[in-house]
Structure 1
């Protein structure tokens, strides 16, 4: 079996991390695993295993015939059977299928906010879905939406999974005091809701208690990041709150923290929470999307409604104050992740789906 993962960039986002995880995991399980990036490379390039073939398409515009031709040439040379397109990369996959009908397409939806969107906003996706052989979704809300709105019957729910990179190079050293670092791994953009976490940190006077807050994720140098920086400056917390940008050594960073927070207004199935758990962090999480399934309140962490900023303060305060509770929650979360969200279970289900598509030819 020969499969190619397709993604628009290798910036350190959730969908991007999963595309790399899938390519790496398949590398040791099937005959040929590849990953192609359409528009932009990034730090996740370094996490790709040596046994995974890599292709950068350098796509410049929506209808980029040069990028499509480059992809077609690679597909034919390597005899790829299925393109597994993540997120918005589905459009390029469909353009390829129009000139190379033999290729099969699996589309993977990671976008947690889609279930609340109108079909009008997704009219291009609906039109393209007639060319999909299967759809993979990361939560049941997205499955219901896909069943109601897309022109494809083969829809599969698969949870995300996280894998520690044993060869990860340790580059980033977090500032602040050991044992008192709060980390937030998410790109600096809506709907990640960083401002709510900033306000909670400030209102709880955590700077005065020796705690520090660390934002890791791509910065877009827009109004959103400017608002965060202005808050940090205006409230004199520059010595306690730090913005690092994208970084390839995610697990090295997380292992320097004590608490992991995710405050998003919507999510699909955030791989970030799995990475927090595998790094032995105690977690305070938004309850949207699949988050409250991973983080069960009082059992594997603490959850809050992201529109209720006071509740975030309460939950963060409890986690900060009680070291024994932090240790208990971190251990319970790690055990839960290893049991429910294993690479082996997900890969077995995915390969079975691939095989059905290939056999249907």
Structure 2
């Protein structure tokens, strides 16, 4: 089986990281694993395994014939069987398939605002789904939406997974006191609800002034980022809250922190929570998306209602005051992640589904 992952950019978003994860994982399992970035490269470029075939299309517009025929040439030369198209990259995948009908498309839906899907409409996606061989949804709500809205009957829910650690030499230096750091990994978007976290940080600062918050995620330099910076200044949190932007090696930061949080209004299945577990961190997260299916009990983490600052403050305070509980909770979440959200478990299910959907036989390259 010869599969290429298709993604619009290699910036540090969830869909982008899963495209890299799949490409790297499949390089160990199948004859050929490739990855194509269509529009933009980014920090994740350095995390692509050397065994993965890589191409950058430099696509300039939605219908870019030069990029389409460059993609077609790559597919033909490398005898690709399946395009695994992530998120909005489905469009160029469909254009390429029209010129090369034998290639099959698997579309991977990473849509993060999945609390209310009734308003999610896309005629181009609906039309494109006629050409899909199968659909992967990252949560059960998206699975149901695809079944009701799109024209592809073969749909599977596959949770995100954590790739075995990529070794990077880059070590991140954090501000704040060792043993008293709280981390949040999420791009600076409104649905991540950083306003809640800053309100929580103001209350935590009053009770525990030595504790600090470390926020990792892309800063889009927009009105939302301006609002957050103004809140930091208004609340006098300059020595408590630190923004680092997007980084190559967030694992280095996670290793140096003691509590992990995710205050989102809406999520699919956030990789951040899986990473928290991988690094044995106790987590406090809102009850949105599939988070409650990852953190299934109070022994594995603290789940609070969305936008409830009092619950959030109380949950963090408990963890600050009880270091033994932090250790126990982090270890329990780690066991859960390694058991149910590991690379090996998800890739095994993925390959089995592809075999049943496409009638391909997978020969292990190991």
Aligned to 2:190: 190
Aligned to 1:234: 234
Counterpart-to-counterpart distance in 1, 2:119 and 2:52: 36
2:102 maps to 1:105:
no
SS in 2 for 1:336: helix
Counterpart-to-counterpart distance in 2, 1:41 and 1:360: 31
Counterpart-to-counterpart distance in 1, 2:115 and 2:237: 37
Report if aligned partners of 1:112, 1:142 keep a CA contact under 8 Å in 2.
no
What pairs with 1:1-361 in structure 2 (closer than 5 Å)? 1-114=1-114, 116-118=116-118, 121-205=121-205, 208-359=208-359
> How many residue pairs end up in the alignment?
361
Counterpart-to-counterpart distance in 1, 2:154 and 2:2: 20
Q: Cα deviations across residues 255-275 of structure 1 (Å, max 9, x unaligned)?
A: 111111111111111111111
Distance apart, 1:204 and its partner CA = 2.5
SS in 2 for 1:167: coil
Counterpart-to-counterpart distance in 1, 2:333 and 2:255: 15
Distance apart, 1:339 and its partner CA = 1.2
Gaps of 5+ in 2: 362-366
Distance apart, 1:108 and its partner CA = 0.6
SS in 1 for 2:183: strand
Counterpart-to-counterpart distance in 1, 2:289 and 2:120: 22
Report if aligned partners of 1:81, 1:358 keep a CA contact under 8 Å in 2.
no
Change (3 A) 1:112 1:175: same
Counterpart-to-counterpart distance in 1, 2:207 and 2:69: 54
Change (3 A) 1:360 1:205: closer
Counterpart-to-counterpart distance in 2, 1:61 and 1:168: 34
Report if aligned partners of 2:117, 2:145 keep a CA contact under 8 Å in 1.
no
Q: Cα deviations across residues 280-338 of structure 1 (Å, max 9, x unaligned)?
A: 11100111110011113412000111232222222222222221111111010001111
SS in 1 for 2:190: coil
Report if aligned partners of 1:207, 1:240 keep a CA contact under 8 Å in 2.
no
Aligned to 2:364: none
Report if aligned partners of 1:296, 1:302 keep a CA contact under 8 Å in 2.
no
Deviates more, 1:111-120 or 1:222-231: 111-120
SS in 1 for 2:215: strand
Change (3 A) 1:360 1:28: closer
Report if aligned partners of 2:201, 2:241 keep a CA contact under 8 Å in 1.
no
Distance apart, 1:115 and its partner CA = 6.0
Report if aligned partners of 2:115, 2:289 keep a CA contact under 8 Å in 1.
no
SS in 2 for 1:191: helix
Counterpart-to-counterpart distance in 2, 1:324 and 1:206: 23
Change (3 A) 1:206 1:91: farther
Counterpart-to-counterpart distance in 2, 1:242 and 1:335: 30
Report if aligned partners of 1:87, 1:111 keep a CA contact under 8 Å in 2.
yes
Distance apart, 1:171 and its partner CA = 3.0
Q: Cα deviations across residues 49-78 of structure 1 (Å, max 9, x unaligned)?
A: 000011111111111111111111111110
Report if aligned partners of 1:82, 1:105 keep a CA contact under 8 Å in 2.
yes
**RMSD between aligned alpha carbons?**
1.6
Report if aligned partners of 1:162, 1:274 keep a CA contact under 8 Å in 2.
yes
Report if aligned partners of 1:115, 1:145 keep a CA contact under 8 Å in 2.
no
SS in 2 for 1:195: helix
Distance apart, 1:354 and its partner CA = 2.3
Change (3 A) 1:115 1:69: farther
SS in 2 for 1:44: helix
Q: Cα deviations across residues 208-263 of structure 1 (Å, max 9, x unaligned)?
A: 53111111111100011111111111221111211111101121111111111111
Report if aligned partners of 1:47, 1:165 keep a CA contact under 8 Å in 2.
no
Counterpart-to-counterpart distance in 2, 1:318 and 1:114: 30
SS in 1 for 2:192: coil
